């Protein structure tokens, strides 16, 4: 059983998947930092510091708080502002990923098209005969 597990764990696909997950997590941290530390402050400056995250609708009469964290402690609330903020963050992250992947694809070295295979002597002779017949 140990040998089977070792063979499974060291299989190329498992190792490739592990590397992909680790690189994906690191890339996710970079993208989150890009959005949170660079893009969102610019959007905040453009919109005058507008923050939807504390907008909510109380679903209970016992909710009297003015911020979302305290309101959730008091009773049921519909946190539509937080949902809107997270949705906007998702759209921004998706767009940034689209742009980054598009740029990476453009930077990839384009492979030259494969050369046509060399014709054998028989194929060359048949090609010449075909071309002669087309001329007539």
* pTM summary value: 0.54
Q: Are residues 92 and 35 in contact, defined by beta-carbon separation less than 8 angstroms?
A: yes
User: Using the 8-state DSSP alphabet, how is residue 55 labeled?
Assistant: -
Predicted confidence at residue 12, as pLDDT, reads 67
Query: pLDDT tens-digit profile of 101-123?
Result: 888 888 887 778 888 888 898 98
pLDDT surpasses 80 at 94:
yes
Query: pLDDT tens-digit profile of 24-58?
Result: 889 888 878 887 788 778 877 887 877 777 888 99
For residue 28, how many C-alpha atoms fall within 13 Å in the half-sphere facing its CB?
7
- Under the banding of pLDDT at 50, 70 and 90, the label for residue 16 is confident
pLDDT surpasses 80 at 11:
no
């Amino acid at each position: 059983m140990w040998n089977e597990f070792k063979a499974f764990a060291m299989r190329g696909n498992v190792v490739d998947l592990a590397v992909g997950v680790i690189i994906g997590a690191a890339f996710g941290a970079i993208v989150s930092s890009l959005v949170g530390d660079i893009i969102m402050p610019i959007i905040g400056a453009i919109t005058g510091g507008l923050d939807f995250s504390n907008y909510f609708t109380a679903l209970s009469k016992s909710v009297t708080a003015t911020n979302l964290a305290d309101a959730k402690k008091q009773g049921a609330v519909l946190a539509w502002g937080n949902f809107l903020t997270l949705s906007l963050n998702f759209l921004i992250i998706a767009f940034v990923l689209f742009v980054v992947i598009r740029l990476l694809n453009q930077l990839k070295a384009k492979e030259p098209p494969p050369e046509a295979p060399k014709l054998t002597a028989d194929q060359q002779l048949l090609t010449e005969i075909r071309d002669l017949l087309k001329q007539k």
